[in-house]
Amino acid sequence: MNTILGLGFILLLGLFSARMINRVKFPAVTAYLLLGIIIGPSVLKLIPKDIIVSSGLISNIVLGIIAFGIGQNFSRDNFRKVGKSVIWISILEACAAWILVTFIFLVILRQPFYVALIFGAISSATAPAATVMVIREYHAKGIFTDTLLGVVAIDDAWCLIIFAISLAISQAIHSHMLATAFLIRVFFNSLLSIFGAFILGGIIAIPISHLSKYLRSQTELLIFTLGFVFLSIGIAIWLKLSVLLANMFLGMILVNINKSSFNFFESLKTVDSTLFLLFFVLAGSNLEIAILNKLGLIGLTYLVFRVAGKMIGAGLGAHISNASKNIKKYLSLGLVPQAGVALGCALIAKNDFPEVGGMIFTTIVATTVIYELIGPLCTKYALHKAGEIFIEHQNI
């Protein structure tokens, strides 16, 4: 099968499978991921090799676009609107999962520190699609629902920062540096990763903001925005900075210096769905079924302790911010799903650490499928317990 024919089939099968899975109330991302696993090299081998090879290219573009969009969260207006509960809960649930998973992988599973740290960082991500779907389906309303929506909307921003720091530390450890040189390198790498990305984002945001007044149509706006996002991704790769952070900072700076910035983010929505579909199908197709059976314990540990970390962190955040009893007890159950951001981070880890990358990526794909399937049930249970949905004659 040639590449273009393969792309055509992927898009159409993706559309069809998303429609099918929507009927049983699962989000489209789950369908794309399962489709990728089924038609990928491990099962039906229907995806042309050229497309598999270009996974890295597509994921870099998609991650750049996602991170750019996530940057919107960092507007002064947004922080004022979401309230302190959302900020405390989102920061602490992300950090607690990061620390707990890292600790368990290091101490119990005896994984090298750099591997444990990567798993920990990825575990901080959540995926709102399944959660939002349940909220919409049952017309959930109330403080619990609003807090949950706020947390799932904002916490991937913390994940990107956590992942960038962890990746910088892991890369330094991985290159087997001596103690003193190592500490300097870790410090330098982390600093460079964050400040370099911040400076790059800032430098690119200025021409976007100033040149946009010359745009004349929606088409030009889309080309202009996409062009600058690509420029930011490309320069970040070239300078060995974090693509995720550079684009997140680009979105963040833009939203704070340009009051019409929402138009840039809106314009990308006309093309991002196609890229997201390809990204998830390719992520699924990169699952290595052959090594899946060796990952039972790692996968199970990740599944359990990621959720445990989120429960501890969300509970602590709710306690500090004096949130209601229901939020303290049940909110973390709405944070079970993981998808795009976790898969994207795992793809980066796969490229940066080839010897363990397959193991990390396959674990994340497999656990993503499980989380996406059980996530909606957990959210439904949490909303029911919080008294913000009413389910008649159904077992939950």
Partner 1 sequence: MQVKEVMSKEVITIKRSTTLKQILKLFAKFHIFPLLPVVEDDGRLVGVVSLRNLINVFQSGRTDMLKAVPFLDEQEEDIFKIEFSEEVGNLAMAEDIMESKFTTVEEDTSLEEAYKQMKLHLKEEIPVVDKAGKLVGRLGIFDIIRYIFGQKGIIK
Binding site for partner 1 (CB under 8 A): 18, 22, 27-29, 65-66, 69-73, 77, 81-82, 127-129, 132-133, 135-136, 138-141, 145-146, 149-150, 152-153, 215-218, 220-221, 260, 262-263, 265, 272, 276, 339-340
Query: What is the spatial distance between Cα 202 and Cα 332, in angstroms, rounded to a whole number?
Result: 34
Which residues, 6 or more positions from 220, have their beta carbon under 8 angstroms from its beta carbon? none
CA distance 35 to 396: 27
Nearer to partner 1 (CB atom), residue 13 or residue 67:
67
Decide whether 145 or 301 has the Cβ nearer to partner 1: 145
- Closest CB 139 distance from partner 1, rounded Å: 4
Smallest gap from Cβ 184 to partner 1, in A, equals: 36
Q: What minimum distance in Å lies between the beta carbon of 280 and partner 1?
A: 8
Q: Token pair 């919107």 is at which residue?
A: 72
**Inter-CA distances, 118 with 20, 30, 111, 159, 280, Å:** 34, 23, 11, 11, 20
- Please state the closest distance from residue 205 (CB atom) to partner 1, in A: 16
DSSP letter, residue 140:
-
**Considering beta carbons, is residue 152 or 236 the nearer one to partner 1?**
152
| C-beta closer to partner 1: residue 169 or 245 | 245
Nearer to partner 1, 242 or 301 (CB): 242
Q: Which two tokens stand for residue 176?
A: 């087997």
Q: Which is nearest to 128 in space by CA: 338, 296, 297, 313?
A: 338
Q: Closest distance between partner 1 and the C-beta of residue 107, in Å?
A: 34
* Minimum CB distance to partner 1 smaller for 126 or for 166: 126
Which of 154-157's residues contact partners 24+ apart within 8 Å by CB, and which partners?
154/73, 154/82, 154/86, 154/87, 154/90, 155/90, 155/93, 155/94, 155/124, 155/125, 155/126, 155/335, 156/70, 156/125, 156/126, 156/341, 157/70, 157/71, 157/73, 157/74, 157/248
| CB of 135 vs partner 1, minimal distance in Å | 5
